[in-house]
Structure 1
Amino acid sequence: MRKLLFISAISLLSCNRNTQTAHPPVGGVLSQKDLDVSRNRMKNLNTIERNQIQEWINGQSVRYYPTRLNYWVTVEGFDQREKRADNSLISYSYDLYDFDETKIYDQPIERRNAKFGHFDELKAVENALRFIRDGEEVTLLVPSSLAYGTFGDEKKIDNDIPLIIKLKAL
C-alpha cells in the first residue's frame, strides 16, 4: 500500500511539472523558431534605424558615406583603403554620443597599444580601426546592432540605441 501511495505521489508531481513553460538557461540553446523571431526582430530594427539615421544625415552639413559593414563615416571611400594587418598595434580613443548629440560619458574610451585580433571592441569601432590612418579623426554613425545591441552596456547606454562615435587614432 505504501508503494502504491508513493508511486501515485511521484506521478502526480511529475504531471504537474509538465504544465510549466520551459525556459533555456542563460547561454542555453534556443529553438529554431526563437532564433527566427530574433533574427526578424533585428532585421526590422536595423531597417528602422537605418532610415532614422539617413533622415538625420539629410539634416546635417557634414557628408557621411556608407560602409560595407552597415555604418556611416565622414571619409569617402574609407573602407576601401588598405587594411591594417592582424597583430599590428594601434592606440585610439573615442567618445560616444546619442543622436541628440549628447555626450554619453564624460571621459573618452581609450586604449593604448591594442593588438588587432586580440581586443574586444564594438564591431563598428574595430572595423573602422582597420582603415583609419594614424592621427586621423572620423565620425561613425552606428546602428545599435553594431554598437551595444539588445543589452546595452548595462551602464548609461540602453538597449537598441544607435550611436555617434567620434574616433581618433592616436
Structure 2
Amino acid sequence: MKKIGLCCLVILSILSCKSPEARRPISVKSGTFVTESVERNIKLYENEKTRFQDIMDANPDQTYLTSQNGFWYTYNTKVEADSLPNPSFGDLVKFDYNVKTINGELVYSFSETKPDSYLVDKQELFTGLREGLKLMKAGETATFLFPSATAYGYYGDQNKINTNTPLICKVTIHSITEN
C-alpha cells in the first residue's frame, strides 16, 4: 500500500509540473518619450536661434551667413583670392580659436586652445567647428555662432562646457597643407 501511495505521489508530482508560460509585459511603450524629446529639442533650437538673431541684429555692420549645417558665421578677415583652396578631406589645417558662451563669457581663450592642427575629417572636433573650418581659407578669421546641437550637444565637453550650451567661436586659420 505504501508503494502504491508513493507511486501515486510521484506521478502527481510529475503531472503537476508544467512548462513555464510566457508573461505579458507589465508596461506598454507609447512612444511619448521620443515625441517629447523631439518637441524639447525643437523648442531649444528655436530659443537659441532667437538669441543668435538678437546678436546678429545688434551687429548690423557684420554680414552673417547661414551654413547648410545649421550655424551662422561672419568673416572678420576675408581673403578674396580665389586661388587659395578651402580645406578638404585629409588636409592639415593649423588654426587657433576661442570659445565663448552665448552671453559672451569666455570659456576657452586663444592661449588655452593654443594653435591647433587638424586633419580634415580624420580627427575629432565638434561638428560645428569641423564644418566651419571647411568654409575658410588660410589667413581668414571668422566668428561662428553654434547652436548647442552643432557644438557639444547634450553631453557638453565634460570640462567647462555644460549640457546644451550654444557657443560663439572666433577662429583663425594660419595655414592649410594639402594632402
Judge same fold: TM > 0.5, yes or no.
yes
Deviation at 1:52, TM superposition (A): 1.3
Structure 1 stretch 95-104 or stretch 59-68: which is displaced more? 59-68
Hey, what's the Cα distance between the residues in 1 that align with 2:137 and 2:156? 29
Alignment of 1:120-159 (within 5 A): 120-159=124-163
Structure 2: stretches of 5+ with no match in the other structure: 1-22, 175-179
Q: Specify which structure has the bigger relative contact order, considering alpha-carbon pairs within 8 angstroms and separated by 6 or more residues.
A: 2
Greater C-alpha radius of gyration: 2
Deviation readout 1:128-164 (Å, 9 max, x if unpaired): 1112111211100111111111121121111111111
- The match for 1:164 among 150, 162, 168 is 168
The match for 1:39 is 38
Deviation at 1:83, TM superposition (A): 4.5
The match for 2:50 is 51
Q: Is the 8 A contact 1:95 1:109 kept in 2?
A: no
Q: Is the 8 A contact 1:134 1:169 kept in 2?
A: yes
Hey, what's the Cα distance between the residues in 2 that align with 1:62 and 1:102? 22
Deviation at 1:110, TM superposition (A): 4.0
Question: Higher helix proportion, which one?
Answer: 1
The match for 2:89 is 86
The match for 1:70 is 70
Deviation at 1:45, TM superposition (A): 1.1
Give the aligned CA root-mean-square deviation in angstroms. Answer: 3.2
Q: Is the 8 A contact 2:100 2:167 kept in 1?
A: yes
AA matched with 2:106: K
Structure 1 stretch 59-68 or stretch 46-55: which is displaced more? 59-68
Size of the alignment, in residue pairs?
153
Hey, what's the Cα distance between the residues in 1 that align with 2:38 and 2:114? 30
Q: Is the 8 A contact 1:93 1:168 kept in 2?
A: yes
Q: Is the 8 A contact 2:156 2:165 kept in 1?
A: yes
TM value normalised by structure 1: 0.71
SS at structure 1 position matched to 2:168: strand
Deviation at 1:115, TM superposition (A): 1.5
Structure 1: stretches of 5+ with no match in the other structure: 1-14, 23-30
Question: Higher strand proportion, which one?
Answer: 2
SS at structure 1 position matched to 2:159: coil
Q: Flag the 1:141–1:62 CA change in 2: closer, same or farther, 3 A.
A: farther
